Structure 1
């Protein structure tokens, strides 16, 4: 099957998700991808994302940033909007891991879904500019580098603000493939919503500025039969630090609307940041359902006069 053959339908038919492609991406990325413990694998992951996005005929560029005196890159694939090119919709997923984990769920799953979204929407003619971003150095890893976490997304959000980007929505895919009817779900202390005891849902995390974006995703998820639990936090989540633990937080701080979509990682996954975070533990139909719902959201947000 060609990279885009599973994405095209007749006429206005909705694009379809390929679990096989998602699986292939996860298996290709699986393995420690870390700036100190496995720098070659981290660079290989970056190249893999670049190559896949270029093959889909997006305009692909690198956004460099420095950390600990070294240069790293976010990978940005762009499809320019037809009538509203200055308005942007961003989809982010980080491709690095902590030092001791192969990172299949965290976050090869998010990258795989991002790449599948780019394939599904490869024929979309958007009104707004649509960008898919592989983000580097998200993890709070113990390295000789800064170790502060969220380095790539912080650099990108700062760049977007300094350049005056008109960002209408940021969707962050953070570990989206560990779920099931037998999965025990826990919740961080102080969460003001009821959290189900079974980890078979996707959490949708937003701040007040992003409330409307979260509500819109909840609507499309309902149509896609994807169970979700939304949480809108006051301010930028300062009172609930667990809601700030991914690449959406720098965009909140920069004043952009952003949501994080997550399987809740350590509140559900016993393999979180460990050697057991492997492909075999993942729920591919769940990841595909997430992909299907996000594709519907992006189509609505970016606008599509036709394919």
Structure 2
């Protein structure tokens, strides 16, 4: 629906962005949740994040956020970037509907992740993370779902961030057949509980790593907005342009995605979220 029917959905094409918002709101509401809009202005235009919140039973002041941005660049239908992650967000919310959580669980469809908003302090995640800090909310964990649908078994299909020292490059996978969970040093404590939950739900290979933020590739999504506010966050990703040749291209279409492995990834993330939220 997002990439194949609606297509490119940047804020400068408001009818498409609003169609995407309406579709996501309808899908999230179908799970029985009330969907709130977090509105703000980006470059003078009204935009909004979509939020579903389920209060925790024992530790409601501790919040687990699961988020994915729903905008794309004008030049691309954005199937992997980032319709794949929005699909995962919706399915995780649906799968956990009716299950009791100790911590509060907050699902957010974010807007304005892509340039130029990324560089102008107008990202939906920046707005939300700042408001969390202003409200002095206790964010136990934030998971940024960022491109989760492209995989390959071909040798050499996975690239490594150029900033990784040569002596450590052997530690990184060379085939693009895995999902990655990436944190900064402060967020390293989330990697093991995320991995434990993920492995309960899925047999998909999972690569977990904490890297310094000087490796710029790990800051190129909504997790960085929460790091900037001092919160722990992980980017959950197929590694984007380090494997997907369709990144920010017109060729990022629905038929390029691996739906079987996207399903396996979603199962794993669902159980990881359940574990973090205390389901």
What TM-score range do you get, normalising by the shorter chain?
over 0.9
Give the distance between the partners of 1:96 and 1:280, measured in 2 at CA: 19
Is 1:84 equivalent to 2:59 in the alignment? Answer: yes
Cα displacement (A) at 1:252: 0.7
1:182-206 deviation per Cα after TM superposition (whole angstroms, max 9, x unaligned): 3711111122452222100112110
Query: Alpha carbons of 1:251 and 1:55: their partners in 2 closer, same or farther (altered >3 Å)?
Result: same
Provide the C-alpha distance between the structure 2 equivalents of 1:211 and 1:147, rounded to a whole number of angstroms: 26
- 1:97 deviates by 0.3
* Structure 2 residue 151 is matched with structure 1 residue 173: no
Identify which range, 289-298 or 171-180, moves more after superposition: 289-298
Q: Of 154, 162, 183, which residue of structure 2 is paired with 1:189?
A: 162
Instruction: Confirm or deny that 1:163 pairs with 2:135.
Output: yes
Is 1:134 aligned to 2:112, yes or no?
no
The aligned residue for residue 35 of structure 2 is 60
Deviation, 1:114, is 0.3
2:92 match: secondary structure: helix
Q: Give the direction of change, closer, same or farther, for the CA distance of 1:150–1:104 in structure 2 (3 Å limit).
A: farther
Partner of 1:227: 205
1:69 aligned to 28, 44, 47, which one?
Answer: 44
Aligned to 1:34: 10
Is 1:44–2:37 an aligned residue pair?
no
Displacement, 1:147? 5.3
3-state SS, counterpart of residue 59 of structure 1? coil
Q: What is the rounded CA distance, in whole Å, between the counterparts of 2:151 and 2:225 in structure 1?
A: 27
Report whether the alignment pairs 1:95 with 2:70: yes
Question: Equivalents in 1 of 2:258, 2:101: separation in Å?
Answer: 31
For structure 2, which runs of at least 5 residues remain unmatched after alignment? none
Q: Distance in 2 between matches of 1:54 and 1:138?
A: 23
Spell out, residue by residue over 1:229-258, the C-alpha distance to the aligned partner (whole angstroms, 9 max, x if none).
222123xx1x11111000000101101110
Return the alpha-carbon distance in structure 2 between the equivalents of residues 297 and 49 of structure 1.
22
Q: Residues of 1 paired with 2:118 and 2:207: CA distance?
A: 33
User: In the alignment, does 2:262 pair up with 1:290?
Assistant: no
C-alpha offsets along residues 51-88 of structure 1, whole Å, 9 cap, x if unaligned? 11112111310111222122210000111112222111
How large is the RMSD of aligned CA atoms in angstroms? 1.8
* TM-score of the superposed pair, with normalisation by structure 2: 0.92
Across the two proteins, how many residue pairs are aligned to each other? 273
Q: TM-score, normalised by structure 1?
A: 0.84
SS of the equivalent of 1:45 reads helix
**How far 1:286 moved relative to its partner?**
1.3
Q: CA deviation at 1:110?
A: 0.2
The structure that is helix-richer by fraction is 2
When residues 209 and 150 of structure 1 are mapped into structure 2, their CA distance, relative to the original with a 3 A threshold, is farther
Whether contact under 8 Å (2:113, 2:222) holds in the other structure is: yes
Q: Which 4+ runs in 1 deviate beyond 6 A?
A: none
Question: Quick one: distance in 2 between partners of 1:110 and 1:245?
Answer: 15
